[in-house]
Amino acid sequence: MRIIAGTFKGRPIAAPKGQSTRPTGGRTREAVFNLISHADWAPPLDGARVIDLFAGSGALGLEAMSRGADVCVFVETDAGARGTIRDNCETLDLFGSTRIQRRSATDLGPIPAGVGAPFTIAFLDPPYHKGLVEPALAQLAKGGWLAEDAIAIVETAADETLDFTGWELLDERTYGAAKVSFLKQA
| pLDDT tens track for 26-76 | 688 899 999 999 999 999 999 999 999 999 999 999 999 999 999 999 999
DSSP string, 77-114: --HHHHHHHHHHHHHTT-BTTEEEE-S-TTS--SPPGG
Residues 74 and 58 sit within 8 Å (Cβ to Cβ): yes
Instruction: Please determine, for residue 23, whether its predicted confidence score (pLDDT) is greater than 90.
Output: no
How confident is the model at residue 143, as a pLDDT? 96
CATH number attached to the domain at 28-147: 3.40.50.150
Instruction: Please determine, for residue 20, whether its predicted confidence score (pLDDT) is greater than 80.
Output: no
Angle 183-21-177 from CA coordinates, rounded to 5°: 55
Residues 59 and 52 sit within 8 Å (Cβ to Cβ): no
Q: What is the CA radius of gyration of the chain?
A: 15
Domain spans of the chain, in order of start: 28-147
CA distance 179 to 56: 18
How confident is the model at residue 1, as a pLDDT? 87
User: What integer best gives the mean pLDDT of the chain?
Assistant: 93
How confident is the model at residue 32, as a pLDDT? 94
pLDDT band at 109 (very low <50, low <70, confident <90, very high): very high
- Which neighbouring-strand residues pair with 182? 153, 171
